[in-house]
């Protein structure tokens, strides 16, 4: 089967930890053919089908020059997405206008017969910060607003809070404000741009010292190990991108119950792969664009996450 990965440039991959690379490696081991492109390589014209200009790639097994591309820009091959066995949308956030437009092109490709994972409409309908609003029973105290006075009121009530933009990833733009309220006004101005930009505010969860847990859910079923991303030093963020330490742990009974409640709901909407983030007993984010953690969990626990993902992908396109 031919698989097309829509992702960030392959040259930027850190293969020792990249989950998309883990998917590619498992797919290659099963004899699937790989192609890659970015969202900017997708086009549609009246009278034709949604087409991507792709590079056909093979993996070398090397750590640095890890792939060989049959084509280089500007000589990529045009391929109708409906003619591809499966399309794996793995473009990292930000979820900006261009990402939004890409999901519409991919949805048109679906109407023409393409099979896209995660489903484009589901990607649009589940922005990663705001998707938790559907499951208030599993989240902590949370506010979403553009109004500075709302944020100040929330801080007065909860004393210790986290503020974050809705379109970030990897811990970008996250601030903590303690009971003294130091710099709260400046932080609000930075994040909400004078009321022009919506901000999420959450009560600070002290359980973060045990880790921000990434629970991977594949086809509605949680992976039996989580990746606890533990902040290091004076850092409040556990994200691996800012130096957090990733520790694989068995899935607890409570976290399993939460994942089993949320996972099938999202899978039924076309979200084959979900990264559920939890601090303590609270869900903090639902990641659907490019959930990570495959390699860390596999290396530390022995549970082959990529194998389970490709199993689910193959079952979905039969």
Active site members: 129, 164, 214, 229, 237, 277, 285, 287
User: In the Cβ-directed half-sphere of 305, how many Cα atoms lie within 13 Å?
Assistant: 33
- CA 4, distance to chain mean position in Å, is 18
Contacts of residue 50, Cβ cutoff 8 Å, sequence gap at least 6: 42, 43, 44, 80, 81, 82, 105, 106, 108, 109, 112, 114
Pair of tokens at residue 134? 């559907």
**CA–CA separation, 216 and 256 (whole Å):** 11
CA-nearest of 148, 159, 203, 209 to 181 is 159
Residue 64: CA count within 13 A, CB half-sphere = 0
Cα separations in angstroms, 208 against 141, 162, 238:
15, 12, 8
Q: How far apart, in Å, are the Cα atoms of 67 and each of 16, 147, 212, 294?
A: 14, 48, 32, 20
User: Is there a contact between 82 and 50 (Cβ–Cβ < 8 Å)?
Assistant: yes
Query: In angstroms, rounded to a whole number, what is the distance separating the alpha carbons of residues 242 and 223?
Result: 24
User: Is 6 strand, coil or helix?
Assistant: strand
Q: Is residue 175 classed as helix, strand or coil in its secondary structure?
A: strand
DSSP 8-state code for residue 251: P
């Amino acid at each position: 089967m031919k698989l097309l990965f829509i992702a960030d440039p392959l040259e930027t991959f850190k293969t020792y930890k990249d989950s998309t690379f883990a998917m590619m490696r498992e797919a290659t081991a099963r004899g699937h053919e790989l192609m890659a492109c970015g969202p900017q390589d997708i086009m549609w014209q009246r009278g034709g089908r949604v087409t991507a200009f792709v590079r056909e790639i093979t993996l070398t097994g090397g750590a640095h020059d890890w792939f060989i591309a049959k084509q280089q820009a500007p000589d990529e091959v045009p391929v109708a997405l409906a003619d591809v066995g499966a399309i794996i949308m793995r473009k990292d956030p930000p979820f900006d206008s261009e990402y939004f437009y890409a999901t519409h092109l991919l949805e048109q490709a679906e109407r023409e017969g393409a099979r896209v994972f995660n489903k484009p409409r589901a990607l649009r309908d589940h922005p990663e910060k705001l998707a938790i609003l559907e499951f208030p029973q599993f989240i902590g105290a949370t506010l979403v607003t553009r109004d500075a006075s709302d944020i100040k009121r929330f801080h007065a009530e909860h004393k210790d809070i986290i503020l974050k933009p809705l379109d970030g990833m990897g811990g970008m733009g996250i601030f903590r404000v303690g009971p003294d309220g130091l710099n709260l006004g400046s932080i609000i101005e930075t994040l909400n741009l004078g009321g022009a930009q919506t901000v999420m505010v959450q009560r600070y969860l002290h359980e973060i010292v045990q880790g921000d847990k990434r629970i991977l859910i594949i086809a509605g079923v949680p992976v039996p190990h989580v990746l606890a991303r533990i902040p290091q030093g004076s850092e409040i963020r556990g994200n691996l991108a800012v130096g957090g330490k990733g520790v694989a742990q068995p899935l607890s009974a409570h976290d399993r119950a939460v994942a089993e409640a949320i996972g099938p709901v999202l899978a039924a909407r076309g979200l084959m792969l979900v990264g559920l983030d939890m601090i303590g007993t609270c869900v903090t984010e639902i990641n659907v664009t490019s959930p990570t953690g495959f390699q860390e969990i596999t290396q530390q626990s022995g549970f082959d996450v990529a194998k389970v993902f490709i199993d689910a992908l193959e079952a979905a396109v039969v």
